[in-house]
Amino acid sequence: MSNPVKILVFKNEIEAILLGEILTEKQIPHIIRTYHDSALDGLWQTQSAWGHIEAPEEYRKEILLTYNEMSS
């Protein structure tokens, strides 16, 4: 995957899993990163955001469109 950039931040794990599955079906390269910190037992993760998705910049528009369709 060429130069992944942060595309959007997830509110929870369910969003991340669902979008990840849709993007995999569409064969869009992506990486889902969680903010889980085992030292704090995930405390920071749940108070701020769950994580984010990274992908090549050329897929930004399609990923955001897919996320908005999924969220509505």
Interacting residues of 71 by C-beta distance below 8 A, sequence separation 6+: 15
- Residue 55: predicted pLDDT: 98
pLDDT, tens digit (0-9, with 9 covering 90-100), for 33-70: 988 766 555 455 456 678 999 999 999 999 999 999 99
CATH code of 4-71, in short, is 3.30.70
Higher pLDDT, 17 or 1: 17
59 class by beta-carbon count within 10 Å (0-12 exposed, 13-18 middle, 19+ buried): buried
- Residue 30: predicted pLDDT: 97
- Residue 39: predicted pLDDT: 57
- Residue 37: predicted pLDDT: 63
Beta strands at 31-34 and 51-56: parallel, antiparallel or unpaired = antiparallel
Task: Tell me the residue type at 6.
Answer: K
Q: Give the angle subtended at the CA of 53 by the CAs of 16 and 70, to the nearest 5°.
A: 45
Tell the residue number behind the tokens 């897919």, with chain if given.
66
